[in-house]
Amino acid sequence: MTEPAPQKRAKKLFIKTYGCQMNVYDSDRMADVLAPIGYRVTGEPEEADMVILNTCHIREKAAEKVFSDLGRMRSLRAERAKKGAGGLVIAVAGCVAQAEGAEIMKRAPFVDIVLGPQTYHRLPELVAKAARTTNGRGILDTEFPPEPKFDYLPAPRGQGLTAFLSIQEGCDKFCTFCVVPYTRGAEYSRPAADILREARGLVADGVREITLLGQNVNAYHGATDSGATWSLARLVAALAEIPELARIRYLTSHPRDMDDGLMAAHRDVPQLMPYLHLPVQAGSDRILTAMNRGHNRDHYRRLVEKLRRHRADIALSSDFIVGFPGEKDADFAATMELVREVGYVQAYSFKYSARPGTPASGLREQVPEDVKDARLQELQAELTKQMRAFNASCIGRDLDVLLTGAGRYAGQLAGRTPYLQPVHVQADAGMIGTVARLRIVGAEPNSLTAAAIAA
Position among 129, 173, 221, 301 found at the interface with ligand SF4 (CB under 6 A): 173
DSSP for 5-50, please give it: PPPPPPEEEEEEE-SSHHHHHHHHHHHHHHGGGTEEE-S-GGG-SE
Smallest distance, Å, CB 83 to ligand SAH? 41
Q: What is the DSSP string of 239-256?
A: HTTSTT--EEEEE---GG
Distance (Å) of CA 191 to CA 131, 166, 407, 436: 35, 11, 38, 34
Q: Tell me how far CA of residue 232 lies from CA of 401, 412, 423, in angstroms.
A: 25, 37, 29
The listed partner (ligand F3S, ligand SF4, ligand SAH, none) that binds 355, CB under 5 to 8 Å by sort, is ligand SAH
Query: Helix or strand or coil: residue 351?
Result: strand
Strand partners, 347: 318
- Phi, psi of 252, rounded to the nearest 5 degrees: -105, 140
Instruction: Tell me the one-letter amino acid at 145.
Output: P
Q: What is the DSSP letter of 218?
A: G
Give the amino acid at 9.
R
Q: Residues 58, 251, 316, 342: which binds ligand F3S (CB under 6 A)?
A: 58
Question: Candidates 49-57, 166-174, 231-239, 365-373 — which segment interacts with ligand SF4 by CB under 6 A?
Answer: 166-174
Among 121, 122, 149, 184, indicate the residue that binds ligand F3S (CB under 6 A): 184
Does 335 contact ligand SF4 by CB under 6 A? Answer: no
Instruction: Tell me if 142 contacts ligand SF4 by CB under 6 A.
Output: no
Stretch that binds ligand SF4, among 150-158, 168-176, 389-397, 443-451 (CB under 6 A): 168-176
Residue 308 makes contact with ligand SF4 by CB under 6 A: no
171 vs 304, which CB is nearer to ligand SF4?
171
352 contact, one of ligand F3S, ligand SF4, ligand SAH, none, CB 5-8 Å limit per kind: ligand SAH
Which partner in ligand SAH, ligand SF4, ligand F3S, none is near 418 (CB below 5 to 8 A by kind)?
A: none
User: Do 379 and 319 touch, CB atoms closer than 8 A?
Assistant: no
Shortest distance (Å) from residue 215 CB to ligand SAH:
5
Binding of ligand F3S by 171 (CB under 6 A): no
Is 277:238 a contact under the CB 8 Å cutoff? Answer: no
Q: CA angle 141-147-149, nearest 5°?
A: 65
Alpha helix stretches (DSSP H) within 53-186: 60-83, 94-107, 123-132, 180-184
Could you give the string, one character per residue 188-227, with x where binding to ligand SAH holds by CB under 6 A and - elsewhere? ---------------------------xx-----------
Among 352, 391, 407, 423, binds ligand SAH (CB under 6 A): 352
Q: Does residue number 216 form part of the binding site for ligand SF4 (CB under 6 A)?
A: yes
To ligand F3S, the closest distance from the beta carbon of 225 in angstroms equals 29
- H helices of 205-283, in order, are 232-239, 260-268
**Residues near ligand F3S (CB under 6 A):** 19-20, 22-23, 56-58, 94-95, 179-180, 183-184, 215
**Residues near ligand SAH (CB under 6 A):** 58-59, 177-178, 180, 215-216, 252, 254, 279, 281, 319, 321, 350, 352-353, 355
